[in-house]
Chain A
Amino acid sequence: MATTRLHRNEQINGWAFVMPALVLLGIFMIYPILWSLWMSFQVGRGNNFSFGGLANIQRLANDALLVHALSNTIIFFIIQVPIMIVLALLFAVALNDATLRFRGVFRTLLFLPCVTSLIAYSSLFKSMFSNDGIINQTLVSLHLIGAPIPWLTDPFWAKMVIITAITWRWTGYNMIFYLAALQNIDKSIYEAARIDGVPAWARFWNLTVPMLKPVILFTTILSTIGTLQLFDEVNNITQGGPGNGTMTLSLYIYNLTFRMMPSFGYSALVSWVIVAIVAVLSIVQFVIARDRRRAS
């Protein structure tokens, strides 16, 4: 009897301690998420909305602009994420070399973009890549190109600018993860490999990369989610233009809510599309990584 009462007391105490956190989590996270799910079935303008059944899903199925935004987003992460991950990995390995002088300086320089505000660096890129901007001026005066490249007024080049911008901003961030992971790799493994005469390239490919695999997976998922939510850069540098060439899902949701006749139900549904894609992509990446581990 006494133990059960003590046990029950512990139970009550335990719940009492986590209750404030649970209540806050419920009010500020779970409730809004459920509410947005409910919202995604509402149709109507602004505050005049009503239950629309599957009307929003029907609209989703016929939305060419959504498909366009989705394909832009996919282009962004298929091209940008691998470039960034490889760059970050190379930088990390290079900067991990104990014989390199001024390592601290280089690390700081590469990480510095991450501390700049998204808005500030977007504005800078916008002015640098404008028609008369410093990039075009430099390229023209070096006679690398004859006429200025229409960086921000052509859909293809605008995509390139966005990819360049997010790569510049986030490579250092991913590099830090790899640097941290590299510190944990036992140096004796490399010594043994060197004694066995394994060349540097093979050491990188067969030792470093496999050992960093969990971190690479982690950064890949993180970058993929980040790219799917890409908003600040496109909103500030190109506003989704020219010709919807850099329209992303997040910017599309913003437009649906704030630039056009507000249809909150439909924007909520599009947000759930992103959630679904992120979930699927994350599962896929996990599965791929697990299979490889089993195979090896």
Chain B
Amino acid sequence: MNRIASRRSLMLGVALASVSFLSVAAASAGELTVWCWDPNFNIAAMTDATARYTASHPDTTFAVNNVTQDEINQKLQTQLLAGVSDGLPDIVLIQDDNIQRFLQSFPGAFVPLSDSVDMTKFAAYKVAAATYEGKSYSLPFDSGVTGLFYRSDYLEAAGYKPADVQDITWDRLIEIGKDVLAKTGHQLIDMDYNDDGQIIMMMQSTGQWYLKPGNEPNIIDNAALKESLEVFQKMAQGGLIKPVSDWTGYTGGFTSGEVAMVPQGVWITGTIKSATDQSGKWRVAPLPKLNDVEGATHYSNNGGSSWYVLSSSKNQEEAVDFLKTIWAEDVDFYQGILVNQGAVGSLLAAREGAAYKASDPFFNDEPVWQNFSDWLAQVPAVDYGTFTPEARLAVRAQLPNIANGGSIDDALKAIDAQLRQQMQ
């Protein structure tokens, strides 16, 4: 609402200016509007980027707005469908597994950035997520490369050393988790059963996804998915999962010191570090791997998003130039957002910077950033396809049932049926 109001007053200002014979062009010279959602993460990073750009381009001003992911999806979808671009931003942040449906549903709504930016400079799997009919539309931003964040003090209290959780399997982690629960009273992880991130991380570590390329459901014969659900069931039945009902509850589970571990994308670092009193108590190990699945690795991905320029933008060239100058070239900038926001970008050159070599006292002086960027290079690429939101909803629908000990084969059948129905 604020934005619309400011657009109106801007228009009024323009009208007045033209009455008083001032140059209209000068009055409207580029304010770029950006939509993104996390004040501690992407908003802070974007604000930093805009400050760097305005330093060399004083004519360009920015308005970085806090709009939630749900709102972004809904507003874009409604307005693109209605063909109304009033109030849409110039640059918008969209989650990777959600972009294909926009590209396919609304052809021409986004500017193909591969026309002006060299996409080989970015991690290949990030570029692939936003490629449609041979053109890439995204300026890839953060990676969701995963790690196993854990409380080394709880582990120590139960008689385990950091080496005991390096390069292990999920089954071994469950054994350790039961031991830790018995000896310290801390559950292993917390999880929102309305979010399938945990399943995604386990499954993608083998290079499998809910869908096969060509947008066929990959559920019934997906061994990785099956074992991921089995691991989840074992953890839930063993009382190792503290169920929570939303994101605040989820983050509260570990910032309060309640659960012992957080298997999650690197972007959670900022939240973990926000509990400053726990400094030195956390460490990061590679994600455990699945036991009997072919291609199982310790590397996976959860989340991650990228920047897009809308074709309706009146300042399209400026917007593209901004993304190109800062987000595709400024290695220094990436060091800053790494240290301040824990944002592991997708620009490959950024990893040679000094900040990536540094160790972090919060994590027992481990070189966590170097580790994450090493793991990033080994994340198996998957094709998210078009129907990932549908698949995720279908999987989430079965999670409570599986947690209560329901049959996994039945669950897979139900997921497959619901997904096929929704893919029409």
Q: Which A positions have Cβ atoms within 8 angstroms of B?
A: 43, 45-48, 55, 59, 62-65, 126, 130-132, 150-155, 238-239, 241-245, 255, 257-264, 266
Contacts and interface: CB of A to CB of B under 8 A. Distances in A.
A243 B397 contact: yes
A260 B387 CA distance: 8
Interface residues of B, dominant DSSP: helix
Interface residues of B, number: 37
B279 interface: no
Interface stretch (B72-80, B138-146, B265-273, B370-378): B72-80
B396 A65 contact: no
Given A46-B105, A150-B243, A153-B193, A63 B77 contact: no
Interface in B398-424: 398-401, 417-418, 421-424
B418 A64 contact: yes
B105 A243 contact: no
B316 interface: no
Nearest to A239: B194
B418 A65 contact: yes
Interface of B: 73-74, 77-78, 80-81, 83, 101, 104-107, 193-194, 242-246, 249, 386-387, 389-390, 393, 396-401, 417-418, 421-424
Given A46-B80, A150-B243, A152-B245, A262 B101 contact: yes
A184 B201 CA distance: 65
B409 to A, nearest CB: 17
Contacts of B417: 64
Contact of B400 (A65, A243, A263): A243
Contacts of B78: 258
A266 B423 CA distance: 12
A243 B398 contact: yes
A241 B396 contact: yes
Contact of A241 (B74, B101, B194, B249): B194
Contacts of A132: 249
B389 A262 contact: no
A191 B83 CA distance: 67
B421 A153 contact: no
Contact of B194 (A43, A151, A242): A242
A261 B245 contact: no
A131 B243 contact: yes
Contact of A126 (B104, B193, B246): B246
B400 A245 contact: yes
A241 B83 CA distance: 33
Nearest to A154: B400
A243 B104 contact: no
B81 A243 contact: no
A187 to B, nearest CB: 50
B77 A130 contact: no
Contacts of B193: 153, 241-243
A262 B77 contact: yes
B81 A153 contact: no
Nearest first, the 10 A-B pairs at minimum CB distance are A46-B105, A152-B245, A243-B400, A153-B243, A241-B194, A242-B400, A244-B397, A258-B74, A242-B193, A261-B101
Contacts of A155: 400
Nearest to A256: B422
A264 B421 contact: no
